[in-house]
Amino acid sequence: MISVRNVSKVFNAGRPNAVTAVGGVSLDVRMEETTLFKGPSGSGKTTLLGLIGCMARPSAGRIFLNEREITSLPERFLTDIRRATFGFIFQQFNLIKGVSALENVMLPAYPTGEKFSRLRGRAMATLAMLGLEQRAEAKIEWLSGGEAQRVAIARALINNPAVVIADEPTAHLDTKLSLEFIGIMRELKSRGTTIIIASHDPIVCDSGLAGQVVELRDGRIVAGGAAP
Amino acid sequence: MAHMIERHRHIIDFTLATLLRRKGKNGGLLLVYTLIIFVLASVIFFTEAIKREAMLVLRDSPEIIVQRTLAGRYQTVPISWCDGIGSIRGVSSVQPRLWGYHFDRTRRANYTFMVPAQAPPQSGHVDLGSAVARIQGATAGDTIALQGHDGAPRAFTVRKVLESESQLLTADLILISERDYRDFSGLPAGQATDLVLQVRNQREYATIVEKIARMHHDARPILRSEILRTYDAVFDWRSGVMIVIFSAAALAFLIFAWDKATGLSADERTEIGILKAVGWESSDILLMKFWEGTAISLTAFMVGTILAYVHVFLTSATLFAPVLKGWSTLYPYFRLTPWLDFRQVATLFLLTVVPYTITTIVPSWRAATIDPDVVMR
Ligand SMILES: Nc1ncnc2c1ncn2[C@@H]1O[C@H](COP(=O)(O)OP(=O)(O)OP(=O)(O)O)[C@@H](O)[C@H]1O
Ligand SMILES: [Mg+2]
């Protein structure tokens, strides 16, 4: 369980252009289930995902990962947790250009110092699972949008994360590819992966994928979240 | 342990791939860096080689030379002085020397004529230094013609072309017999260019010099140590010029290193953000930046050093010719003796790779601490 307690994130604090992106949010994300954050643009979805995924620290409040407080950990440990627990799928895919699909998938595992042949084997298996084994050696810029997204998914899965976080994953996909993405998420879910998605795309919101839907507005929860 | 090695390997592989991906930027950087190392290394090699050359020149020079002056100008020395000076206590031998400079009008070159103490050529024969042989286009057995002091040409047969450890020493030399030299230069019989003394005990130098001066008021005795000082001054002036070039280049280098190091392109920022977001730590990024700097530094260092070595020792520092005009007229052609000193290379390393690495630490650290969530916006 990921427990978010009274978490706020203020950008440019103390300055005239201060923005409270997230203001005092409390919620529980249950493991092995799918949680959806929805809400209009600027409501704080991305910011909240970043806080949960240990990408940034909250300005106030605490976050617990399986009862362990993670908000105040030093960077090293935070990175370890991020790498071991979370896999990210970004809106713009954020793949590294000029590098093959395979290497992009392996990158998150480099710091772990895993033996190259083993790592390569795992990366190939992950790509194969997503139907991309033929494109493993292709450079990122040669891939179609759908292929690129699947590479991004493969990269998110390479370290066997317990939690997959996806921010607007279908924003750059057409209907067919969006449905394909939902199919992949269902597959992950059936294997017991925890999924957190931020989206206001009706295809995602109406797919019935999410067991828990949290609605945000202006950095606050307006519906769902089972906040204690 | 195996994990650490494997981690380094992965990161090095990725770093090298990244360097190749940014060919334009890194190629430019490598080029400038190599060029700077090349200039600095050439300066270091050149000054050191010149100094070494001078040591070779002076190694065999006599301990005391006696010249004669008249109204502050050098005159020839009467050979009759030898008896008097030879009888001074502590002087083991006195030898008159015959030598002088000659300007070859047709070929616009300076030669040094000398009558060697040992095995001089027979009359009508000469030995040529390598540069003279080249200018004259002559080899052993050929006949060359040179214009004497009275304007009349004289013909000489080349006995051999001189080989020597130091070309600076012999490049412009012509060895000739005493009779031919007197005839050629107009040096009167009974006169020599100077006298050289061998002295048994160093501590007696001062006394001997004093006695010579008392014996002949127009004598000008010179100690080898004084010659060394004069040479040093000349070389120091040369290296002074070099040091100016040197510091300018070093400064340019620092500015350039700083500039390149601080400038992190938007692309690079995003990439570092991505790496951090997918689980790289600050230390992994630092490691990547470290290997990036090392790869560029070492490549530039090696290529620049090798090119400088070729430049200085195989092409006689052609690119420095304008600065060293003085040398090239005095010694029209010479080749420096190849010579590589570990200390020089270490100095060069300290002056380039180390400052470069230091100037890239701060920006690398800044890159490493980029927030991972930049890529989410
Ligand atoms: N680094 C930042 N500096 C200043 N303001 C920021 C920063 N990041 C986000 N914000 C602001 O915080 C608020 C919430 O942003 P966030 O990106 O979390 O919203 P979102 O719900 O993901 O929006 P969208 O649907 O457009 O992606 C916005 O007003 C945004 O402008
Ligand atoms: Mg967003």
Interface membership of A113 toward B (CB under 8 Å): yes
Among protein residues, the one whose CA lies closest to atom 18 of ligand 1: A44
* Yes or no, beta carbons of B21 and A50 under 8 Å apart: no
CB interface of A with B, residues 52-71, below 8 Å:
55-56
* Whole-number pLDDT of residue A164: 94
How many Cα atoms occupy the beta-carbon half-sphere of B251 within 13 Å?
6
- Mutation test residue for ligand 1: of A7, A37, A47, the one with most atoms within 8 Å of CB: A47
Shortest Cα distance from B24 to chain A (angstroms)?
Answer: 14
* Yes or no, beta carbons of B14 and A110 under 8 Å apart: yes
The residue in chain B having the minimum alpha-carbon distance to the alpha carbon of residue A106 is: B10
Pick the CATH number of A2-223 from 3.90.1170.40, 3.40.50.720, 1.10.630.10, 3.40.50.300: 3.40.50.300
CA distance B29 to A47: 38
The CA A40 to ligand 1 mean position distance, Å, reads: 11
State yes or no: pLDDT of A134 exceeds 60. Answer: yes
pLDDT bracket for residue A75 (50, 70, 90): confident
List beta partners, residue B199: B91
Identify whether the C-beta of residue A32 lies closer than 8 Å to the C-beta of residue A193: yes
- Which residues place a Cβ less than 5 A from the ion ligand 2? A 46
Q: Can you give the three-state secondary structure of A33-56, one letter per residue?
A: CEEEEECCCCCCHHHHHHHHCCCC
Query: Looking at per-residue confidence, does B316 or A196 come out higher?
Result: A196
Q: What is the DSSP letter of A169?
A: T
The CA A52 to ligand 2 mean position distance, Å, reads: 14
Shortest Cα distance from A198 to chain B (angstroms)?
Answer: 12
Residues of B in contact with A111 (CB under 8 A): 7, 10-11, 279-281, 284
Interacting residues of A227 by C-beta distance below 8 A, sequence separation 6+: A25, A26, A27, A28, A221
The CA A129 to ligand 2 mean position distance, Å, reads: 28
* Yes or no, beta carbons of B5 and A115 under 8 Å apart: no
CA distance A162 to A81: 11
State yes or no: pLDDT of A120 exceeds 90. Answer: yes
First to last CA, chain B: 37
pLDDT tens, residue by residue, A137-149: 999 989 988 889 8
Ligand nearest to the CA of A9: 1
Q: Give the residue ranges of chain B where pLDDT is below 70.
A: 57-61, 164-169, 228, 230-248, 251, 253-263, 317, 320-337
* Yes or no, beta carbons of B279 and A55 under 8 Å apart: no
Interface membership of A88 toward B (CB under 8 Å): yes
* Whole-number pLDDT of residue B230: 67
Among protein residues, the one whose CA lies closest to atom 5 of ligand 1: A11
CA distance A75 to B281: 8
Shortest Cα distance from B324 to chain A (angstroms)?
Answer: 49
Tally of CB atoms within 10 A around B32: 16
pLDDT tens, residue by residue, B255-293: 666 666 556 777 888 888 899 888 888 888 888 888 888
pTM summary value: 0.70
Residues of B in contact with A37 (CB under 8 A): none
Q: Is A66 left (phi over 0), alpha (psi -120 to 50) or beta?
A: left
Among protein residues, the one whose CA lies closest to atom 3 of ligand 1: A11
Interface membership of B266 toward A (CB under 8 Å): no
What B99-104 contacts at long range (C-beta under 8 Å, 24+ apart), as own/partner pairs, is B99/B193, B100/B185, B100/B187, B100/B193, B102/B146, B102/B174, B102/B185, B104/B135, B104/B146, B104/B147
CA distance A200 to A46: 12
Among protein residues, the one whose CA lies closest to atom 22 of ligand 1: A46
- Domains of chain B listed by start with CATH number: 2-58+233-376 (no CATH), 64-223 (2.40.40.20)
List beta partners, residue B198: B93
Residue B103 token pair: 């300007």
The residue in chain A having the minimum alpha-carbon distance to the alpha carbon of residue B21 is: A98
ipTM score for this prediction: 0.88
* Whole-number pLDDT of residue A182: 92
Output the ligand 1 site: residues, CB below 6 A. Answer: A 11-12, 19, 21, 39, 41-47; B 377
Helices (H), A191-228: 202-205
Among protein residues, the one whose CA lies closest to atom 31 of ligand 1: A42
* Whole-number pLDDT of residue B330: 39
The residue in chain B having the minimum alpha-carbon distance to the alpha carbon of residue A49 is: B376
CA distance A44 to A59: 14
Of A98, A110, A115, the CB nearest to B21: A98
State yes or no: pLDDT of A111 exceeds 80. Answer: yes
Q: Where are the domains of chain A?
A: 2-223
- Mutation test residue for ligand 1: of A7, A36, A43, the one with most atoms within 8 Å of CB: A43
Identify whether the C-beta of residue A34 lies closer than 8 Å to the C-beta of residue A181: no
* Yes or no, beta carbons of B277 and A112 under 8 Å apart: no
The residue in chain B having the minimum alpha-carbon distance to the alpha carbon of residue A153 is: B278
